[in-house]
Structure 1
Amino acid sequence: MSTLAELHEAAIMHNLFLRYQKNNIYTNIGSILAAVNPYKQIAGLYDSTAVDLYSKHQMGELPPHIFAVANECYRCLWKRHDSQCVLISGESGAGKTESTKLLLKFLSVMSQNSSGTPLSERTTRVEQALVQSSPIMEAFGNAKTVYNNNSSRFGKFIQLHFSQNGNIQGGCIIDYLLEKNRVVRQNPGERNYHIFYALLAGADKDHRDTYLLSEGPESYHYLSQAGCVQDSSLDDKQLFNSVMEALKVMEFSEEEIRDVFRLLSAVLQMGNIEFMTAGGAQITSNGVVSNVSELLGLDTFQLSEVLTQRSMILRGEEICSPLTVEQAVDSRDSVAMALYSQCFSWIIMSINQKIKGKNNFKSIGILDIFGFENFEVNRFEQFNINYANEKLQEYFNKHIFSLEQLEYNRSKQNAPIHII
Structure 2
Amino acid sequence: GKVVSHETKQITVETRLGSRIYKPDDVLPASNSDPDVRDHCNLEVLNDATLLEATRVRFGKDAIYTYISEILLAVNPFKPLPHLYDADAKARYRTGAWDALEPHIYGVAELAYSHLMAHSQSQSLVVSGESGAGKTEANKQLLEYIIWRAGVSDGVNGGSSTASLGQRILDTNPVLEAFGNAKTIRNNNSSRFGKYLHLKMNEVDHSVAGAELRTFLLEKSRVTSVTGEGERSYHIFYQLLAGSQSAQGVGAPCLRGKKPSDFRFTSTPATTTPGIEDGAAFLEVHAALLSCGLSIAEISSAYELLAGLLHLGNVAFERGAHEGSVIDPAAAAHLEVAEKLIGVAGLDAMLIEKVVLSPRSRNEYHIALSVDAATKQRDALVKHIYTYIFNLLVFRMNSRLDTRRSTRRFIGLLDVFGFEAFGRNGFEQLCINFANEKLNQFFLVRVFEVEVELYRMQGLKVPELTWPDNADIIELIDKSPMGIFPLLDAQSKLPQQSDTKFCDFLHAAHRGHAHLFTLSAAKFAGGGVVGLAIAKAQAGGARLADNESFV
TM-score (norm 2): 0.70
* 1:222 alignment partner in structure 2: 265
* 1:341 alignment partner in structure 2: 387
* 1:269 alignment partner in structure 2: 311
**Gaps spanning 5+ residues in structure 1: where?**
415-420
Residue 256 of structure 1: which of 298, 302, 308 is its match? 298
Paired residue secondary structure (1:110): helix
Deviations 1:123-157 (A, max 9, x none): 98321101112111111111100001111111100
* 1:363 alignment partner in structure 2: 410
Deviations 1:282-331 (A, max 9, x none): 001221111111001111xx211110001112332111110000000000
Identical aligned residues as a percent: 34
* 1:236 alignment partner in structure 2: 278
Q: Is the 8 A contact 1:143 1:152 kept in 2?
A: yes
Distance 2:344 2:250 in 1: 21
* 1:385 alignment partner in structure 2: 432
* 1:22 alignment partner in structure 2: 61
**Alpha-carbon distance, 1:118 to partner:** 5.9
Distance 2:125 2:417 in 1: 14
Distance 2:252 2:117 in 1: 56
Distance 1:18 1:179 in 2: 37
* 1:418 alignment partner in structure 2: none
Code of the residue aligned with 2:352 in structure 1: it is: T
Distance 1:253 1:60 in 2: 46
Q: Is the 8 A contact 2:244 2:256 kept in 1?
A: no
* 1:417 alignment partner in structure 2: none
Q: Which has the greater radius of gyration?
A: 2
Alignment size in residue pairs: 408
Q: Is the 8 A contact 1:89 1:393 kept in 2?
A: no
* 2:136 alignment partner in structure 1: 97
* 1:188 alignment partner in structure 2: 229
Residue 309 of structure 1: which of 353, 377, 402 is its match? 353
* 2:396 alignment partner in structure 1: 350
* 1:132 alignment partner in structure 2: 171
Distance 1:208 1:104 in 2: 29
Deviations 1:183-217 (A, max 9, x none): 00112210110010011111147667743555100
Taking structure 1 as reference, are residues 413 and 246 closer, same or farther at Cα in structure 2, changes over 3 Å only?
A: same
Q: Is the 8 A contact 2:156 2:165 kept in 1?
A: no
**Alpha-carbon distance, 1:408 to partner:** 4.5
**Gaps spanning 5+ residues in structure 2: where?**
1-39, 462-551
Distance 2:157 2:369 in 1: 60
Taking structure 1 as reference, are residues 49 and 218 closer, same or farther at Cα in structure 2, changes over 3 Å only?
A: same
Paired residue secondary structure (1:6): coil
Query: Which region of structure 1 is more displaced relative to structure 2, 391-400 or 154-163?
Result: 391-400
* 1:394 alignment partner in structure 2: 441
Taking structure 1 as reference, are residues 412 and 44 closer, same or farther at Cα in structure 2, changes over 3 Å only?
A: farther
Distance 2:290 2:212 in 1: 20
Q: Is the 8 A contact 1:126 1:356 kept in 2?
A: no
Q: Is the 8 A contact 1:310 1:321 kept in 2?
A: yes
**Alpha-carbon distance, 1:2 to partner:** 2.1
Paired residue secondary structure (2:99): coil
**Alpha-carbon distance, 1:68 to partner:** 1.0
Matches within 5 A, 1:134-173: 134-163=173-202, 164-173=204-213
Taking structure 1 as reference, are residues 120 and 319 closer, same or farther at Cα in structure 2, changes over 3 Å only?
A: closer
* 1:177 alignment partner in structure 2: 217
**Alpha-carbon distance, 1:29 to partner:** 1.1
- Cα RMSD over matched residues? 2.3
Q: Is the 8 A contact 1:89 1:371 kept in 2?
A: yes
Taking structure 1 as reference, are residues 330 and 312 closer, same or farther at Cα in structure 2, changes over 3 Å only?
A: same
Distance 2:344 2:156 in 1: 48
* 2:421 alignment partner in structure 1: 374
Q: Is the 8 A contact 2:244 2:253 kept in 1?
A: no
* 1:107 alignment partner in structure 2: 146
Code of the residue aligned with 2:362 in structure 1: it is: G
Residue 239 of structure 2: which of 177, 198, 209 is its match? 198
Paired residue secondary structure (2:441): helix
Taking structure 1 as reference, are residues 407 and 52 closer, same or farther at Cα in structure 2, changes over 3 Å only?
A: farther
**Alpha-carbon distance, 1:403 to partner:** 4.9
Residue 211 of structure 1: which of 254, 266, 290 is its match? 254
Code of the residue aligned with 1:381 in structure 2: it is: E
Taking structure 1 as reference, are residues 387 and 119 closer, same or farther at Cα in structure 2, changes over 3 Å only?
A: closer
Distance 2:176 2:213 in 1: 10
Code of the residue aligned with 1:222 in structure 2: it is: F
Code of the residue aligned with 1:316 in structure 2: it is: R
Paired residue secondary structure (1:139): helix
Q: Is the 8 A contact 1:212 1:265 kept in 2?
A: yes
Q: Is the 8 A contact 1:182 1:193 kept in 2?
A: yes
Code of the residue aligned with 2:313 in structure 1: it is: G
**Alpha-carbon distance, 1:249 to partner:** 2.1
Taking structure 1 as reference, are residues 303 and 46 closer, same or farther at Cα in structure 2, changes over 3 Å only?
A: same
Q: Is the 8 A contact 1:212 1:291 kept in 2?
A: no
TM-score (norm 1): 0.92
State yes or no: 1:278 paired with 2:320.
yes
Matches within 5 A, 1:30-69: 30-69=69-108
**Alpha-carbon distance, 1:75 to partner:** 1.2
Taking structure 1 as reference, are residues 118 and 222 closer, same or farther at Cα in structure 2, changes over 3 Å only?
A: closer
Deviations 1:224-247 (A, max 9, x none): 1x3221234220101111111112
Code of the residue aligned with 2:355 in structure 1: it is: S
Code of the residue aligned with 1:84 in structure 2: it is: Q
